[in-house]
Amino acid sequence: MVAASLAGGGAERALLDTAALLAARGHEVTVLTFESETSDAYPVSARLSRIALGVAGQSGNRLRGILNNLRRIVRLRAEVRRLRPDVVVSYLTRTNIICLLALLGLGVPVVATEHNVAALNDAPVQALWRTLRRLLYPRMAQVVVVSKGLARQYAWLGANKLSVIYNFLPPTCAPRREAFGFLAEDARHIVGMGRLEPEKGFDRLIKAFHLVEKDCAGWKLLIVGEGSLRKELTRLVASLGLEHRIALPGRVSNPRALFRQCDLFALSSDSEGFGLVLVEAMSAELPVVSFDCDFGPREIVTPGVSGILVPPGDVPALSRAIRSLVKDDVLRARLARAGRESVGRFAPDEILNQWEALFRRLTGPRIAPQKAPRRTQAAERP
């Protein structure tokens, strides 16, 4: 299983969760990253083999980028020839393309996974990658996307090349209360979580909270994560005079432990491939409100039943939804209960069965569980 890095992000978490549970089923799984282990944001299970090529991710200019990608191709091809895997699963567009180019002629099936389309859609400099994706993806053994909405963006591949396999809700240890120093004992908390990058729309969440903060006495907003917009978001909070009401505490290693101590989850993304963080929040019995962005939230949340969806990018609508939930304890409790009940369909076992079925279809009988999978629960009650 190959990724550029484990430096943070939903796709990288999905890779590690899937790899660890496949290993628990008896498969031999190697996780390979282009960047070194020093960039890791997530721990790697002891069940997994790990290879870090240490090929720099920051290229600086186009020529250096080309040279770095050639180095990745050469190094990856050598490692795969040494390991002789039955199948290679690659994560995200650039890595998918590099993997396919590296493994041409080796006879190893390459499965590309896509978690979003926004990364290559906005910047003109990505035109080459978009062209390569269009030319090379038909040569993939399979392209796996994480939502039905995202599948529509890849319909040009044809049904025989495209599979939808949802991200699953990772099993956790027994419930425990974890101390988070940034939580205020005398306040209730709205939480947003994700990379501090433009597509996550945290500036809009801050502005939505600003519109209703006077109606939300005793409530604070947490924006949990790291990214390139930290300074910009911090300046926005200061410009609105909300330093005492909004905190950006960085990453946390156990999101659901934090969610159990919060009161409301808000997702403000412009784009999502799936939105696993929504599933995690709902599993912790946290009421959720989300922009109805492409492509995942509508496949996770039933509007008005298991959460609230508002029009994409509509800051006033998001603020009104936050206000309604803050003011209505009964509504929060009802949505929280229904949300937790609804995420059982994202339990690991069925989704891992889908991965194994795909591997068997691509490789024949070589890939099969070596022991019966242990039944896992989607989530524990807080």
Give pLDDT, residue 60. 62
- Average pLDDT of every residue of the chain: 90
Residue 301 resides in a domain: yes
Residue 109: which of 73, 75, 80 has the closest Cα? 80
Looking at the fold, whether 339 and 351 belong to one and the same domain comes out as no
Residue 64 resides in a domain: yes
pLDDT band per the 50, 70, 90 thresholds, residue 369: low
Residue 39 resides in a domain: yes
Average pLDDT value for residue range 73-98: 96
> Which residue bears the tokens 């250096």?
64
pLDDT band per the 50, 70, 90 thresholds, residue 58: low
- Looking at the predicted structure, is the pLDDT value of residue 380 above 50? no
Q: What would the two tokens of residue 39 be? A: 């960039």
Residue 270: which of 121, 74, 130, 108 has the closest Cα? 121
CATH number, domain containing residue 226: 3.40.50.2000
> Which residue bears the tokens 């300074």?
231
- Looking at the predicted structure, is the pLDDT value of residue 271 above 70? yes
- Let me know if 66 is exposed, middle or buried by CB neighbors in 10 A (0-12, 13-18, 19+): exposed
* Domain containing residue 280: 188-343
Q: What would the two tokens of residue 25 be? A: 């089923």
In sequence order, the 6+-apart residues with CB closer than 8 A to the CB of 367 are: 27, 86, 87, 356, 359, 360
Residue 181 resides in a domain: no
- Looking at the predicted structure, is the pLDDT value of residue 3 above 60? yes
Strand partners, 276: none
Looking at the fold, whether 195 and 339 belong to one and the same domain comes out as yes
Residue 115 resides in a domain: yes
Looking at the fold, whether 217 and 110 belong to one and the same domain comes out as no
Give pLDDT, residue 8. 76
Tell me if residue 122 falls in helix, strand or coil.
Answer: coil
Total domain count, the chain: 2
Task: Report the 10 Å Cβ neighbour count for 350.
Answer: 12
* Cβ atoms of residues 246 and 221 within 8 Å: yes
Average pLDDT value for residue range 80-106: 96
- Looking at the predicted structure, is the pLDDT value of residue 64 above 70? yes
Looking at the fold, whether 302 and 240 belong to one and the same domain comes out as yes
- Looking at the predicted structure, is the pLDDT value of residue 257 above 60? yes
How many Å apart are CA 100 and CA 157, to the nearest integer?
A: 16
pLDDT band per the 50, 70, 90 thresholds, residue 381: very low
Give pLDDT, residue 13. 87
Distances (CA, A) of 347 to 15, 18, 376: 16, 12, 7
**Who has greater pLDDT, 149 or 223?**
223
